[in-house]
Amino acid sequence: MVATAATSAFFPAVSPTPDYSTKTAAKLSSLGGMKSKSAGTSSGLQVKTNAQARPKINGTSVGLATPVEGVKNECDTLSPAPRTFINTLPDWSMLLAAITTIFLAAEKQWMMLDWKPRRPDMLIDPFGLGRIVQDGLVFRQNFSIRSYEIGADRTASIETLMNHLQETALNHVKGAGLLGDGFGSTPEMCKKNLIWVVTRMQVVVDRYPTWGDVVQVDTWVSSSGKNGMRRDWLLRDSRSGETLTRASSVWVMMNKQTRRLSKIPEEVRGEIEPYFTDTLPAVEEDSRKLQKLDDNTADFVRTGLSPRWSDLDVNQHVNNVKYIGWILESAPLPILESYELSSMTLEYRRECGKDSVLQSLTAVSGNGIGNLGNLADIECQHMLRLENGAEIVRGRTGWRPKHASNFGTLGEVPVEST
């Protein structure tokens, strides 16, 4: 009885786990016997292993062959791990995957069905990324008029509109997959160091958008003569579809290194011709010759205009939109205060570099400034030139009287902007 109690105290019967069953069986199979001695009434038991002697308890030999064999048989038969609180929990990876799937499905449904903006015009290209439409020949992009893009009249400036036109032109090339590493240049143009330069621009503004308006810009390209390309734009109110601005331009190629005009290589023509449309210009061409101005024929002259570093584009010449601002520098203040620009025709004759110093000349057609009281349309002639007299741009602008209804009472914020 005492021997049995001592043996059970040192060797409790525990079900072996699968991870240690093989090792336990190997150890027990090599175990020859066990020997236990009593060191006295107060001393503990000492257990020794002996490969030859059989174990003894209190001087009596006890055979453990049968218990060891029983343990070996239990090790040979793998028993399942005991059930605990941890291994009864669910598979967390599967639970996490299920939660993620449910969340993504709910997010998709919310974006497609439950997202309802207050303004319906925001549903059309809400992020202004642009897309190809009309059989891949027209590029369309939306722009929201920002607070920093409006002027004293609380309407978008002409420079803002021109920047939107230029942005859609570049995005059109990118969206068509023709954008190389240049500023709007195709891969074949980059190989030959060719860039696009604008030679003529015509713009007609029917109405200027205001702060918060979303405008939709369409652009497309056509051939222009043997070595030119025409690009047209149509800018509309995205909510009503009203036409706000129309523009048409002519572009030619110039060698980036020699700065000389170039013919369109056949490789480049093969890239761009599939995107040409056979349509009329967005603005009917004004065939009237632009007047050359000098100190005697100009009514107003502004000197000392020079480009800043931020006025240069990646082709290292002044951005064509900057020329418009310089032209308006010499426009008389009474015209800027009482009239708004309604049309513009520009001819670009020479590029302008970072070290150039320019002069802006303006001549008012008709009876000049004295005719402002009649509130009639006014036409002006313009020229930008270098200090040495070399022409940069010739231009003609049309102006119409401003109407208070276009932007509300001075000092009040339009209701739609709140």
Residues noted as catalytic: 315, 317, 352
Contact predicate 389/378, CB 8 Å: no
Contacts 24+ apart (CB under 8 A), 53-59: 57/2, 57/3, 57/6, 57/7, 58/2, 58/3
Cα separation, 1 vs 355, in Å, equals: 112
C-alpha to C-alpha distances, 321 to 16, 206, 213, nearest whole angstrom: 84, 19, 22
- Nearest partner of 33 among 13, 58, 63, 5, judged by Cα: 63
Cα separation, 326 vs 359, in Å, equals: 9
CA angle 124, 249, 161 (to 5 degrees): 45
Q: How many CA atoms lie within 13 A of 365 on its CB side?
A: 14
Contact predicate 221/139, CB 8 Å: no
Phi-psi region of 122 (alpha: psi -120 to 50; beta: other; left: phi over 0): alpha
Q: Where are the alpha helices (DSSP H) in 220-356?
A: 266-272, 320-329, 333-338
- How many other CB atoms are there within 10 angstroms of residue 79's CB atom? 12
Task: Retrieve residue 54's tokens.
Answer: 């059989």
| Four-residue CA torsion sign, 386, 389, 394, 395 | positive
Contact predicate 359/396, CB 8 Å: no
CA angle 347, 148, 213 (to 5 degrees): 85
Q: Give strand pairing partners of 394.
A: 347, 383
The one-letter amino acid code at 176 reads A
Q: Which residues lie closer than 8 Å to 13 by C-beta, 6 or more apart?
A: none
Max distance between CA atoms of the chain, in angstroms, equals 139
Contact predicate 186/173, CB 8 Å: yes
